[in-house]
Structure 1
């Protein structure tokens, strides 16, 4: 009995040591919720809450600090170290997975929101205004950012377009009633007012031009296109490109070690991020009661996609327990819940895939950076639900064609959604325009969007993680063949007695040994 007890105790200690970081992260989420609810009774000011959230802000800044190095080094390393044919297979399978899962999530959202009809029980006055965005301009901005004019500027800014009116002086007619000779209205006149037309010269918009502006934020699409192209080129250069390949591979390993240090600070940052957000809520009881059915619809769709659809895909393709894999990715999902940014979570997502779930690094470093930018299952589901919910709220019945337009537009728009907090609101304008709703109607869901944004970001990260495993499994034979070829080359070098090393590395060779050869 004593022996069994000691073994059990040793097993528990081993588990706690192995999962210490994950357990600390889970505890930080729970403590953050408890602390946030408790601190609401302190009635802190907005300024005090800002100071309180400082440890969490530091964590987000640390993660954002390594986003650009991770994208550049991981993509270039992944693409340059695999053959061209394998790279095309890798990209093709990844794109098929992205579109398939995104379309499935949209269909789930549409079925739920049409069935539950949360907007039919909702009433809200429209107020305020948002910057208008034409769908064609937004889509062109997406394509334009694929090819940045300055790759350095793409690391901290991206371009967007706005329509500027071209005005011209024109005579405009206005109607006034019974003016006197001085041009003023008669106050005490008992005469019947007469309408008189006056002509004034005013600036009138006769046309529009597109003006490009920059906004703060990483142009991830532009970086991805550049890094993929650059990696393919140096990978096909042969010997001259090996120096660059080794450089980026070493830099990538150094960045991942830096990420590991940041990860251990994560539980502290996550606790303060969640607590400060709860403290900053104006009236949580009222918001939860008013948007309850809408939240249930969105969260139910996310749960179905995250715990049924994605695990089924994982099991069918890999024939392994998907929930064991989910446990390995849980650290990244909880970080996404706290930061509300799939891009900021990217360093942790890559680390969890490689270290916890043993996904081939060549697949993880290729699939995950791209997935964090264009694979947004949770965002696509949310946008479909939100668009139809808004239509229901303003008593607009959508026909089958309009619902089909929502599904297609939500799938396409989610690709352009940046991996930053509440970026889905921007692309939601495109979905609303597809069914003829004004951008101002987004005001209907702003009050609760911050909370749903965290859940859908976690699903985005989980979908990326499953994609990395699926693509790595589908290409496992290609990776094995590549490893065998590398081993055979290494064995050939060893079999030649080191002659090639003496020939190609004269600086490290013994002159007498060379002469003897």
Structure 2
């Protein structure tokens, strides 16, 4: 009888709730929809501000172009953007060194080697795919097969990097892996130049022979590859010390966390900086019509190749491996991608990328802070693709037919040389000379590439950092799957009647997580 009364009271209360509109989803939907919109805006506010910054920057640049500003005024317009680049570059060294030391010290050496191996395999395969797309796109579009009305590239010829032997280029890469001075590696890297030495013949004749001798020089630009290798080895050494190394490991962990706090502050300035970076670059352009008319097919070939690789190939690889929506993952790193477009530097984008993949895409700190600095150094999908397009483009300009061996040489050299490409604006152009030398093409035409590098390099950088992020996401999937397999193995041993205390503690979260606490106790 009491139960019946309770049921009637419950029905009455439910009916009252429905009459008040509390239980009617149609009446509640406007309020829930507005709350949902507010929640989405709040959670994606930085992305919205960044996209708005890019769009507003384009309109500002187009509007100010007609004002015929002088060079000084253009520099003033780009000043807020310059501040953003300086802020990001300021924390690159502490972030890279501290994150890699703490990451290498916190991961088991066996897992470290396995993670590093999977990461390098992913980076190598995707870079090779990007190079192949670049070569195929260049042969299909044939950007250099038509008569070229060359734009004004006066002053760019002196920026063309000096041609180097392929052997010397790879030796420089190895030398930079082992810097002789860690302090100078923060702002200088090793590069080979040549000195011509004249020798008189020893047989008494007046014959004079010339020998081009490689001479080591220091060039401006951070040797981030050497810093990465040192930080990883140093982290492994600290872990090897055991308890004696814990103090330093905690120091680097704290330093790393403090750096990420600085990054979170800088992120809110990024939309303003990106807006003025884009506006300043648009105002800086001189004859846009001639530039795009003469080099439009080359620009389109590079950008379409980047879109194919970034929108289809990388997401497809991620989906096949993880069975997760890759475009949700892309949305999570959109702020970092927009920053990459604005700054044109994968190294400068690294701090924001770490923040995005950890907070939006659920990548652990150990994975992101170990893999992303390595990816920013060695994974250059965009640079490899653009270098292949540029090589075929220059060959077509000079009416040079590339045979199969030369095409393979371009693929392999672009994939290998992209590892040494600096993560700075126009870093890929510096290694383009290596590919041209390898297949016997003139390096003078690099001045044409430099004329439009400001736009191509931005899409290169976006693709580079996107590949780094997908690499971190795939490694996180492998780590989670391995942990789940180990967990299932331990739980199956418990179910089979083993000693619970031998496998896991009685109140282990591993058991409680699976809801098997009572079973274990029984």
- Could you tell me how far 1:441 is from its partner in structure 2? 1.9
Aligned partner (choices 451, 455, 460) of residue 451 of structure 1: 455
In structure 1, the partner of 2:195 is 164
Q: Secondary structure at the match of 2:362?
A: coil
Q: Do the aligned partners of residues 480 and 147 (structure 1) sit closer, same or farther apart at CA in structure 2, a change above 3 Å counting? A: farther
In 1, distance between residues paired with 2:487 and 2:354?
A: 21
- Could you tell me how far 1:218 is from its partner in structure 2? 1.2
In 1, distance between residues paired with 2:469 and 2:449?
A: 29
In structure 1, the partner of 2:353 is 349
Aligned partner (choices 178, 187, 201) of residue 147 of structure 1: 178
Aligned partner (choices 225, 228, 234) of residue 238 of structure 2: 234
- Could you tell me how far 1:350 is from its partner in structure 2? 0.7
In structure 1, the partner of 2:127 is 102
Aligned partner (choices 308, 312, 332) of residue 312 of structure 2: 308
Structure 1 spans left out of the alignment, 5+ residues: 172-198, 496-517
Q: Does 1:88 align with 2:92?
A: no
Do the aligned residues in 2 keep the contact of 1:146 with 1:221 (CA within 8 Å)? yes
| TM-score, length-scaled by structure 1 | 0.85
Q: Name whichever of 18-27 and 123-132 sits farther off.
A: 123-132
| TM-score, length-scaled by structure 2 | 0.84
Q: Name whichever of 219-228 and 131-140 sits farther off.
A: 131-140
- Could you tell me how far 1:481 is from its partner in structure 2? 8.7
Do the aligned residues in 2 keep the contact of 1:328 with 1:352 (CA within 8 Å)? yes
Aligned partner (choices 409, 419, 422) of residue 418 of structure 1: 422
Q: Name whichever of 473-482 and 357-366 sits farther off.
A: 473-482
Q: Do the aligned partners of residues 118 and 208 (structure 1) sit closer, same or farther apart at CA in structure 2, a change above 3 Å counting? A: closer
In 2, distance between residues paired with 1:434 and 1:406?
A: 8
1:244-280 CA-partner distances (Å, limit 9, x unpaired): 1111111111100100001100000000000000000
Q: Name whichever of 441-450 and 18-27 sits farther off.
A: 441-450
- Could you tell me how far 1:123 is from its partner in structure 2? 2.3
1:202-239 CA-partner distances (Å, limit 9, x unpaired): 9x663343322212221111001101101111112211
In 2, distance between residues paired with 1:32 and 1:170?
A: 64
Aligned partner (choices 288, 291, 295) of residue 284 of structure 1: 288
In 2, distance between residues paired with 1:234 and 1:205?
A: 54
In structure 2, the partner of 1:395 is 399
Structure 2 spans left out of the alignment, 5+ residues: 1-25, 491-500, 509-522
Do the aligned residues in 2 keep the contact of 1:124 with 1:444 (CA within 8 Å)? no
1:55-110 CA-partner distances (Å, limit 9, x unpaired): 00000000000000111011111110011110011000001001000001111111
Q: Does 1:4 align with 2:8?
A: no
In 1, distance between residues paired with 2:370 and 2:482?
A: 15
In structure 2, the partner of 1:26 is 51
In structure 1, the partner of 2:81 is 56
In structure 2, the partner of 1:138 is 169
Q: Does 1:66 align with 2:91?
A: yes
Q: Secondary structure at the match of 2:215?
A: strand
1:465-512 CA-partner distances (Å, limit 9, x unpaired): 000001111122455699999xx9xx98x99xxxxxxxxxxxxxxxxx
- Could you tell me how far 1:313 is from its partner in structure 2? 0.7
In structure 1, the partner of 2:496 is none
Do the aligned residues in 1 keep the contact of 2:381 with 2:467 (CA within 8 Å)? yes
Q: Name whichever of 366-375 and 204-213 sits farther off.
A: 204-213
Instruction: Tell me how large the CA RMSD over aligned residues is.
Output: 2.5
1:171-217 CA-partner distances (Å, limit 9, x unpaired): 9xxxxxxxxxxxxxxxxxxxxxxxxxxx9x99x66334332221222
In 2, distance between residues paired with 1:154 and 1:481?
A: 42
Do the aligned residues in 2 keep the contact of 1:24 with 1:267 (CA within 8 Å)? yes
Number of residues of Structure 1 aligned to a counterpart in Structure 2:
463
In structure 2, the partner of 1:194 is none
In 1, distance between residues paired with 2:32 and 2:410?
A: 57
Q: Secondary structure at the match of 2:268?
A: helix
